[in-house]
Amino acid sequence: MKLVVSGGGTGGHVYPGLTVIKALLDPKPSGSRLPTLKRTDLLWIGSRGGLEADLVKQADIEYIGLAAGGLRGKGLLDRARNALRILGSVGRARDILDEFQADVVLVTGGYACVAVTLAAWMKNVPIVIYLPDVVPGQAIRFLSRFAAIVAVTSEESYHYFRREKVVVTGYPVRPEFYSLDRADARRELGLEPEEQTLLLFGGSRGSRSINQALVAGLRELLPVCQIVHVSGTLDADWVAGAAKKLPEELQGRYHHFPYLHGMAQAMVSADLAVARAGASTLGEFPAAKLPSLLVPYPYSGQHQTPNAAYMVRNGAAQLLPDADLKEKLVPMVLRLLGDAQTLADMRESANAMARPDAAEAIAGQLWMLAKRRAALASPKSGGGTGGVGAAQ
């Protein structure tokens, strides 16, 4: 199988693809129905200059960037200019697919994947779209008509697509979320082994409102729990400055990171998280059995509020509106950390949502489509691959 993956713009569009790739590349146990993919049979197409480029290259995966640009939140002129960039990249994407001899394409979201999806459809290369969020944006709804399969995190996404295309796989999460030991994770982060632990972060770019509400409440929270705070790099200096003003006996209980590579360790260590409701929340918090207070970003379009509502309906989270952070963050955290039964119930509910086999499920769909395409192209089948990647 020659696989092209396309996605980028945010970590929520990159990490699921990397996790599926790991499932494809890792040696399989005897008796597995999935073959092992060769690294040379793998290519990632993202946006030129996108944050995904470094992440993909760090994973030792060949990367090609296409011209692309954002549409949501832009002025009319910028939207028109960026739409032309995307359409102009379709021809380049077709050339890349031809040269690479792609058998199947996995799309995880982001603007560059529009050109790749259209090019794959034109070339009759089957397409799998993975939707990490509960509710798809307009781009994924549009692109889904060209896909053979739409893999989704939640069964609640069924009614946004043609039902026969949808496969509920769950959110593909890095294996270490399921294998980490809490005591080891806390030791790696320099945390006290038996203290209640609160984790706060605002996604890959940080969250100004979460940072401000936390810093204002540190003196009330730190006597009750140790805190792991991933502030993002933009707010790192003033957050660190505020921490230096804490009483000396509290400073050792506050662990501030502008960026943290060991987020899996932080989630496994925590008793409670306060976070945005990006797509990764739907997979990583259940995998880490982590109860949460979710604060949907108010300007995230259609995504974060439905994600948070889904977690709340399943008993794994509680909702904290962004506008209420300053007033309600501290009392809600203190109430939950003081209620062992509620935290235990939320942890059990989060664990029930976990799908450890999600990456393998998506990998299986890719192999199935690649084999079907190969069978249709073989001489015995009469040749031709028409209709494999196309939608009605």
CATH classification of the domain holding 337: 3.40.50.2000
Residue 386 lies in a domain: no
**267 and 361 share one domain:** no
**240 and 157 share one domain:** no
**31 and 143 share one domain:** yes
**160 and 44 share one domain:** yes
Residue 388 lies in a domain: no
Number of domains in the chain: 2
**63 and 207 share one domain:** no
Residue 330 lies in a domain: yes
What three-state secondary structure class fits 257? strand
For residue 312, the surrounding DSSP H or E stretch is helix 304-313
How many whole angstroms separate alpha carbon 29 and alpha carbon 36?
10
Kindly state the DSSP code that residue 204 receives in the 8-state scheme: T
Q: Is the pLDDT confidence value at 25 over 90?
A: yes
Q: How many CA atoms lie within 13 A of 35 on its CB side?
A: 11
Beta strand pairing call for 104-109 and 127-131? parallel
**112 and 234 share one domain:** no
Q: Which residues pair with 47 in a beta bridge?
A: 66
**125 and 215 share one domain:** no
How many whole angstroms separate alpha carbon 34 and alpha carbon 24?
8
**103 and 80 share one domain:** yes
Specify the pLDDT at position 352.
97
How many whole angstroms separate alpha carbon 368 and alpha carbon 218?
52
Phi then psi for residue 294, to 5 deg, are -100, 135
Specify the pLDDT at position 388.
47
Q: Is the pLDDT confidence value at 37 over 60?
A: yes
Percentage of the chain with pLDDT > 90?
75
The string of pLDDT tens digits covering residues 116-163 is 999 999 999 999 999 999 999 888 898 999 999 999 999 999 999 999
Buried b (16+ CB within 10 A) or exposed e, 230-258: bbbeebbeebeebbeebeeebeebbbbbb
The string of pLDDT tens digits covering residues 207-232 is 999 999 999 999 999 999 999 999 99
**199 and 87 share one domain:** no
Query: Between the CA of residue 358 and those of 29, 88, 173, 182, what are the distances in Å?
Result: 17, 34, 7, 23
Q: Is the pLDDT confidence value at 384 over 60?
A: no
**7 and 141 share one domain:** yes
Residue 391 lies in a domain: no
Domain of residue 337 covers: 176-353
**118 and 192 share one domain:** no
Q: Is the pLDDT confidence value at 381 over 80?
A: no
Specify the pLDDT at position 28.
82
Give the chain's mean pLDDT. 90
Residue 392 lies in a domain: no
Residue 95 lies in a domain: yes
For the whole model, what pTM was predicted? 0.89
How many whole angstroms separate alpha carbon 133 and alpha carbon 108?
11
Residue 120 lies in a domain: yes
pLDDT category of residue 70 using cuts at 50, 70 and 90: low
Residue 129 lies in a domain: yes
User: How many CB atoms within 10 Å of residue 261?
Assistant: 8
Query: What mean pLDDT do residues 174-185 have?
Result: 95
Specify the pLDDT at position 32.
79
**216 and 332 share one domain:** yes
What three-state secondary structure class fits 198? strand
